[in-house]
Chains A and B, each alone.
Chain A
Amino acid sequence: MGSETTGAPVERTAAQGGRPSPGRGFSLTWLGVVPFFVFATLFLIAPTGLLVVGAFQTADGSFTLANLAGLLHPSIVAAYVISLEISAASALGGAVIGFFLARAIVSGGLPGWVRPTVTTFSGVASNFAGVPLAFAFLATLGRTGLVTWALMEWFGFNLYATGFKLLSFLGLTLTYLYFQIPLMVLILTPALEGLKKEWGEAASILGASSLQYWRMVALPVLWPSLLGATLLLFANAFGAVATAYALTGSSLNIVTILLYAQIRGDVLHDQNLGYALALGMIVITGGANVGYIWLRGRAERWVK
């Protein structure tokens, strides 16, 4: 970039707004984003690409689909299934609860301090994932956790006699909800703000009840945002490792834990099958994100 001074500011200004001029100026303009793309290629795109390629290779490098077929092994399928279930459950739960919470703070007629409080807290809680979150839930719903104890002491209800385990589908879902709900609040608040007050007023003056307004106007307008946010939550849960690992060690067979064990010690005894496992994850989270982007496009078309 250098430190050339402006001998001819007018010329420079003209080049500013317009298209890059051909020749030297053209290549120089593009040079500005080269560091970024080099970095992204080296540490994001190429490593991921290498795994994708590896998923279609045998150990000696020739093309194969056997790794993908290997994913159909019952224990791997089971891992995907439970991962999908937990992700879906925590995404749906987070979406529903997060929706009501977001609606309450955006248009619930609450005092002014509630909204910034909830938003700030959501910002913190949505980032409070990983190992510490697992500790918090062990202290809450573990065998010696406070809630477990309180249920027993005050209501005579033995949570663990019902077969409840924190290291399970339900336990992990409840734990994930801790960051899923706030994430939903953060994503959905702008969308709810996009609902114009006048739509509700127009509907009510035309005779619609609040329920009719939500059914006929607000939800149809919101659904792309709602569904898109749910997909994002889904992908968020699907890729999570640390919380589950700290809660369960390797005892719960979800796909991220399986992949973690594979990276650590090649538990599948097949490097390339590990790459296929990763590819499967990319396809699922990628699919969820493509869905999110498509739905966001739809949502923006309406709410302009």
Chain B
Amino acid sequence: MSFIDITGLKKAFGPVTVVHDFDLGIEKGEFVSFLGPSGCGKTTILRMIAGFEAASAGRIAIDGREVTRLPPAKRDVGMVFQSYALFPNMTVGENIAFGLRIAKKSAAEIRERVAEMLAIIKLPDLADRYPWQLSGGQQQRVALARAIAVRPQVLLLDEPLSALDAKIRVSLREEIRALQRDLGITTIFVTHDQEEALSMSDRIVVMNEGRAAQVGTPFEVYTWPKNRFVASFVGTLNLLDGVVVDEGRLTLDGREVTVGRGLAGRRAGETVTVALRPEAVTLGATATGLPGTVEAVSFLGAVVRVKVRLDTQVVTLDAFNQTTQRPPEPGTAVRLVFGAEDLLVLGEG
């Protein structure tokens, strides 16, 4: 049995079911992200694990102990909120000490632990500041310190980076991940930002309409999306319509291409959706490859994004900007080159 064991979890608000029969096992020390658009149920699941929402059905166990009906205080979990939720009447030190005071730890122990936490979040001199005197990034670190000061078994992070500036978001996510590794604390991270999920997680649960659309490592989810939803939500993918020729080939706008896998069991003449990563496509000089015309070029700095029209469909490709090679002009006839393995046939749903 997993460290956190969720089975058949369901949540309905009146007639609206927001989480359907959700199952998931999380190992001790694992960092798992729930990734999905707003309203997909990811936050609701987190809040059921925390105990803020009652499950309509199903079971949640942490470390072999069922917690489904326990109040939040008894679950031994820590939580960080999107809005920081620091107590405004308390200093940074008092905020971090809150859980320890409630647990009736000795004054000496509290002092020691608060100092330790302040060192961990790299804000050793701010113990006497009030939350309103801190920047958003600092507040969120304090919130993190407050959550882990009581050494919970599980850390829940509810979009903790969403309210922050882009730069701080990146640096803080690296810090959170490093801290999580150091402490070895089992962590669930809720986000709608695919980059955050991909860069931080051991595993990602992609959520859609109250169900897990795919569960896997960042590499798996990104490279082999199971269906159209995952493919379009994680990364920018070209989704193209192809017509099956046989188990190894299909046609895109009438041109035949080789497909590595995924066509087994498909009938010839059937239309399927194939995904193609922009970074997997290059502009070839050779006469081989799929012919097309450059339609638009956007220069993004390190990357040049080129839109190439085949016939009716358009393929977007990302090429690294190279000093020796100018980006192509719109209207130029080009050839698209990609490997057979890069064409991914998607399942439906």
Direct contact of A and B (CB under 8 A): yes
A201: chain B residues within 8 A (beta carbon): 50, 52, 72, 79, 81, 85
B72: chain A residues within 8 A (beta carbon): 201, 204-205
Which stretch of B95-103, B112-120, B333-341 is in the interface?
B95-103
A217: chain B residues within 8 A (beta carbon): 87, 89-90
Q: List 5 A-B contacts (CB under 8 A).
A: A201-B85, A203-B87, A205-B73, A206-B78, A207-B73
Which chain B residue lies CB-closest to A304? B132
Q: Which of A206, A221, A301, A303 interacts with B99 by CB under 8 Å? A: A206
Contact with B along A233-244 (1 / 0, CB 8 A): 000000000000
Contact with B along A199-222 (1 / 0, CB 8 A): 101111111110010001100110
Q: Which of A204, A207, A209, A302 interacts with B88 by CB under 8 Å? A: A302
**A side interface size, CB within 8 A:** 21
Rounded to whole Å, the gap between the CB of A266 and the closest CB of chain B is: 52
CA distance A301 to B102 in the complex (A): 26
A203: chain B residues within 8 A (beta carbon): 87, 98
Rounded to whole Å, the gap between the CB of B114 and the closest CB of chain A is: 14
A303: chain B residues within 8 A (beta carbon): 88
Query: What 5 A-B pairs have minimum CB-CB distances, sorted nearest first?
Result: A198-B85, A206-B99, A220-B89, A302-B88, A207-B102
Contact with A along B68-96 (1 / 0, CB 8 A): 00011101011101010101111000000
Contact A206 B52 (CB under 8 A): no
Rounded to whole Å, the gap between the CB of A225 and the closest CB of chain B is: 12
Contact with B along A267-304 (1 / 0, CB 8 A): 00000000000000000000000000000000001111
- Chain B residues proximal to chain A, CB less than 8 Å: 50-52, 71-73, 75, 77-79, 81, 83, 85, 87-90, 98-99, 102-103, 130, 132, 143, 146-147, 150
Contact B89 A206 (CB under 8 A): no
Contact A208 B73 (CB under 8 A): yes
A205: chain B residues within 8 A (beta carbon): 50-51, 72-73, 75, 77-79
B83: chain A residues within 8 A (beta carbon): 196, 198
CA distance A293 to B98 in the complex (A): 31
Contact A206 B85 (CB under 8 A): no
Contact B87 A207 (CB under 8 A): no
Contact B81 A202 (CB under 8 A): yes
Which chain A residue lies CB-closest to B143? A202
B87: chain A residues within 8 A (beta carbon): 199, 202-203, 216-217, 221
Which chain A residue lies CB-closest to B87? A217
Rounded to whole Å, the gap between the CB of B250 and the closest CB of chain A is: 51
CA distance A120 to B194 in the complex (A): 46
Which chain A residue lies CB-closest to B94? A216
Rounded to whole Å, the gap between the CB of B89 and the closest CB of chain A is: 4
Contact A206 B132 (CB under 8 A): no
CA distance A105 to B81 in the complex (A): 25
Contact A221 B88 (CB under 8 A): yes
Q: Which of A198, A204, A302, A304 interacts with B89 by CB under 8 Å? A: A302
CA distance A199 to B83 in the complex (A): 10
Contact A207 B77 (CB under 8 A): no
Contact B79 A216 (CB under 8 A): no
Additional pairs, 19, CB under 8 Å, beyond known A196-B85, A199-B87, A201-B50 = A198-B85, A201-B81, A201-B85, A202-B79, A202-B81, A202-B87, A203-B87, A204-B73, A205-B72, A205-B77, A206-B73, A206-B146, A207-B99, A208-B98, A302-B89, A302-B130, A303-B88, A304-B88, A304-B132
Contact B132 A301 (CB under 8 A): yes
Contact A198 B81 (CB under 8 A): yes
Which chain A residue lies CB-closest to B152? A205
B147: chain A residues within 8 A (beta carbon): 206
Contact B81 A206 (CB under 8 A): no
Contact A216 B85 (CB under 8 A): no
B132: chain A residues within 8 A (beta carbon): 301-302, 304
A220: chain B residues within 8 A (beta carbon): 89
